[in-house]
Amino acid sequence: MKEFVIRKNDAGQRLDRFVQKAAPLLPASLAQKYIRLKRIKINNKRADRDTRLNEGDAVQMYVNDEFFEKPNEYNAFLSLTNPKLNVVYEDENIILADKKPGMLCHPDKEWTANTLITNIQAYLYQKGEWDPKAENSFTPALCNRIDRNTGGIVIAAKNAEALRILNEKIRDREIEKSYLCIVIGRPKPEAGTLTGFIFKDADKNRVFVHPKPVPGGKTAVTVYETLTAKNGLSLVRCRLETGRTHQIRAQFANAGHPLLGDGKYGSGRVNRERGENGQMLYSYKLKFAFTTPADSLEYLKDKEFTVENVDFAEKYFPEYKL
């Protein structure tokens, strides 16, 4: 039990509003329930949620300690009462989630609870599959990540062994990821391989493609195939041979065919004409292309998963089916 004595700066506000500030991780619906059940009281007496607090009042809260902690990337899941998750596949070891554009994979410098990992943790916590109090150190974690404004399949591990195995498979390139994108113009040739050396300017959060090796540059290889084209746009499928920052976006821009909607590497004029402000790029398919033993995840070998739909493909190329 925690008790709070109301001071001048707290007086005059409703009880439920005060509770939100005193216990920032206590979901609003649970706070209302606790008030009804007299687990939250004023001066040791039952009170309604809209009761106004007076200076000198004492608020008693019979609430678990974790709800009083300040939100951070490790306990943010507690504040999500209705996690939003598009599950492509799930078993006892992993979740494949379809991350929509606009959602962060992890909290950034301006922390927010509504990230993919916090939604996954809240989902597992509420299902009873993960109890942080029963763990010494492990928390469900993402094995790969996708830029905020790019959508697609992200792998999450439910246990430490799965996380170890998948991290090794990603490092050894035994997991294939295929992307759909819309580029401006029509690539020539219509199918081929983009190669180059990518140098990242961390200060500008931008990469530059060079045809020859440069200090600090890393090899970048993207295999692509034009699926269909019309009205000055092409729907292209890509497979990454390497995984560099902004690789697909930068390489297609360097080839003269920037992604539609790309504000960093694209064409501002075309983006404005089309009314697009987010890059048309989606990691729509994933295959567990294991070539070495995968221990407890061996059952995933050669399995392939695809998202249900890609909005921009349906918008510009409705005749094409995934």
| Residue 262 a catalytic site member | no
State the Cα–Cα distance between residues 259 and 283, nearest whole angstrom.
Answer: 14
- Read off the tokens for 315: 């918008």
CA-based nearest residue to 283, from 260, 306, 302, 263: 306
Residues in the chain: 322
Burial class (CB in 10 A: 0-12, 13-18, 19+), 202: exposed
State the Cα–Cα distance between residues 237 and 40, nearest whole angstrom.
Answer: 56
State the Cα–Cα distance between residues 165 and 174, nearest whole angstrom.
Answer: 11
Q: Please identify which of the residues 16, 57, 147, 302 carries the catalytic annotation.
A: 147
- Read off the tokens for 36: 């009804």
Q: Where are the beta strands (DSSP E) in the chain?
A: 2-5, 40-42, 58-61, 87-90, 94-99, 141-142, 151-157, 175-184, 191-201, 206-210, 218-230, 233-240, 281-288, 304-306
- Read off the tokens for 139: 């928390």
Name the residue with tokens 């974790």. Answer: 66
State the Cα–Cα distance between residues 61 and 33, nearest whole angstrom.
Answer: 12
DSSP string, 122-190: HHHHHHTS--GGG-SS---EESS---TT-EEEEEEESSHHHHHHHHHHHHTT-EEEEEEEEEES--SSS
State the Cα–Cα distance between residues 298 and 277, nearest whole angstrom.
Answer: 41
Sequence-distant (6+) residues with CB within 8 A of 147 are 246
State the Cα–Cα distance between residues 278 and 275, nearest whole angstrom.
Answer: 10
Sign of CA dihedral 256, 258, 263, 264: negative
**Residues noted as catalytic:** 147
